[in-house]
Amino acid sequence: MEMVQPGIYAQKNMIYTKNAVPGQKVYGENLVNKDGSEYRRWISKRSKVGAAVQNGMDIELKPDMNVLYLGAASGTTVSHFSDILEEGIVVGIEYSDTVIKGLVELAEKRDNIAPVLGDARNPEEYNQYFDNYDYIFQDISQRDQAEIFLKNCRKYLKGDGVALLSIKARSISDSRLPEEIFDEVKNKVSSEFNIVDEVELSPYEKDHLVIKVKS
Amino acid sequence: MPDKDDIVKEALESTRDQLSEVDREKHLVKAVKMLDCVEKSISKKEENFKDWYSLHFPEFIDEIDDIEHITKILRSSVERDKLESFDDLASSSKGADITQKEKDILQKIVDDLKSDIDTRSNLEDYIENLVKQEMPNLDKTLGTFLAARMIALAGGLEDMAKKPASTIQMLGAEKALFRHLRGNGKSPKHGILFEHEYVNQLPESERGKMARFIANKTVMAARLDSYSDKDKGEKFRDECRQKYEELAEV
């Protein structure tokens, strides 16, 4: 096991995080014991951040950060964030009351996940938790995903914070070219923030781009 | 800086509370889906059972069509000689005799159908009560079961209240609508609203107008049911009837 980024380990072209709750799988991933620690495989096909890391992006997530996670769903990626954030916490926003049940279950087993049932379109809905965050990640398959991202970054991103946006071209338009859609989103975002890195998620996801922004 | 443990605790508690809130419309949506499923199951089994039972007693099946009635009569026995008040038909039956094994299995199927039919009527009662109680305006404007079906398609009462009338008009016609939007085919005039008596009794050329009108009233009714206690269902129904009479005269 070799640490490639804070809290993220690599072995034989696969990436892992140190399991915060040894013995427990979250979504059917493999557990690997090495040098006295247990590692959970981060399956890139199931997690967009996993795919971004696999494709070479430095996500700049550090163990002491407070993270706002938009579109947390049932917690597949959130569980790996929870592994990495040894001192930090991840606040997961999810709109659907069906899938958030999985996240609640996960949060009961780990002590650094705060599941919130809310709509990321209205950032005020969850302002009782933190006033701002070191890190924001968004994975929401909606037509207005860029606007949602900007709204949240404006309100919650710290001056020296990092934000990651996963863009799904197919939820913006079915017929236009993905590159055209990516450019459009990047233009919108870069009018307010600096895009410092970007990576496409193929072959793990089709027509997806992850961008990293700072203010 | 707020304490992390407190934040986790607060978020978990409030999310759990929100999830455990009773939302009767969700039950309605699921009940309507289940009703559709049970109805399909009954009609498939009915067809196959009648087919099979005709081997033994074809005259009986010709005589009685209603499956609910059939299961009631056959509940005690499926053997034709043991049926009360069917002696004449039974003695002259052209059907073949059946063995004990066949009797057993046919009896089992009758029981099964009976239980499906009971489930269906329970579901119908449940849906009817819920719609009458929780959405009186929609109930009167559309009729109980059409209201329930449309709520199920819209995804819930509040979801319906938030939709525009044009979307309500198209509920159930999504396939035709998107075919039209892609450039093939005519624009659909109504989806499941076709089931409304004022729509399907009109000539084809007038149905679109009627569906549009009812969709408008439906959205108003849904908003009243969702956000207030006012009861204007009768008024909506009357307005729909007037429009219907107007269109029917032309």
pLDDT single digits (tens) B49-88? 999 999 988 888 888 889 998 898 888 888 888 887 778 8
- Cβ atoms < 10 Å from Cβ of A183: 11
- Give contacts of B14 with chain A, Cβ < 8 Å: 116-117
pLDDT at A160 over 70: yes
- Do B80 and B123 reside in the same domain of the chain? yes
Compute the mean pLDDT over every residue in chain B, rounded to the nearest whole number.
Answer: 90
Contact B45, B68 (CB under 8 A): no
Cβ contact, residue pair B11, A97, below 8 Å:
no
For residue B10, is it within any domain?
A: no
SS3 A6: coil
* Residue percentage of chain A with pLDDT more than 90: 86
For residue B9, is it within any domain?
A: no
Burial (Cβ within 10 Å: 0-12, 13-18, ≥19) of residue A55: middle
Determine the pLDDT at residue B2: 66
For residue B13, is it within any domain?
A: no
d(CA A177, CA A169): 8
Q: Per-residue pLDDT averaged across B124-128, rounded?
A: 94
d(CA B49, CA A90): 58
Domain tally for chain B? Answer: 2
d(CA B30, CA B67): 25
Last residue of a domain, one of B79, B106, B134: B134
What's the pLDDT tens digit per position in B16-46?
888 887 677 788 889 999 999 999 999 999 9
- CATH number where B170 lies: 1.10.246.90
- CATH number where B125 lies: 1.10.287.4070
Lowest mean pLDDT segment, chosen from A6-10, A158-162, B122-126, B180-184: B180-184
Instruction: Find the CB nearest A97 among B8, B12, B19.
Output: B19
For residue B15, is it within any domain?
A: no
For residue B5, is it within any domain?
A: no
Burial (Cβ within 10 Å: 0-12, 13-18, ≥19) of residue A98: exposed
Range of the domain at B29: 20-134
d(CA B201, CA A187): 54
Last residue of a domain, one of B104, B134, B164: B134
Residue in chain A nearest B9 by alpha carbon: A114
SS3 B151: helix
Provide ipTM, 2 decimals. 0.84
For residue B145, is it within any domain?
A: yes
CA distance B230 to chain A (A): 29
- Do B174 and B240 reside in the same domain of the chain? yes
- Do B40 and B97 reside in the same domain of the chain? yes
What's the pLDDT tens digit per position in A45-73?
999 999 999 999 999 999 999 999 999 99
Instruction: Find the CB nearest B2 among A108, A113, A130.
Output: A130
Contact B140, B234 (CB under 8 A): yes
Residues paired with A37 in a beta bridge: A34
- Give contacts of B19 with chain A, Cβ < 8 Å: 97, 100-101, 104, 117
Determine the pLDDT at residue A78: 95
Upper half-sphere CA count for residue A113 (Cβ side, 13 Å): 33
Q: Per-residue pLDDT averaged across A160-182, rounded?
A: 91
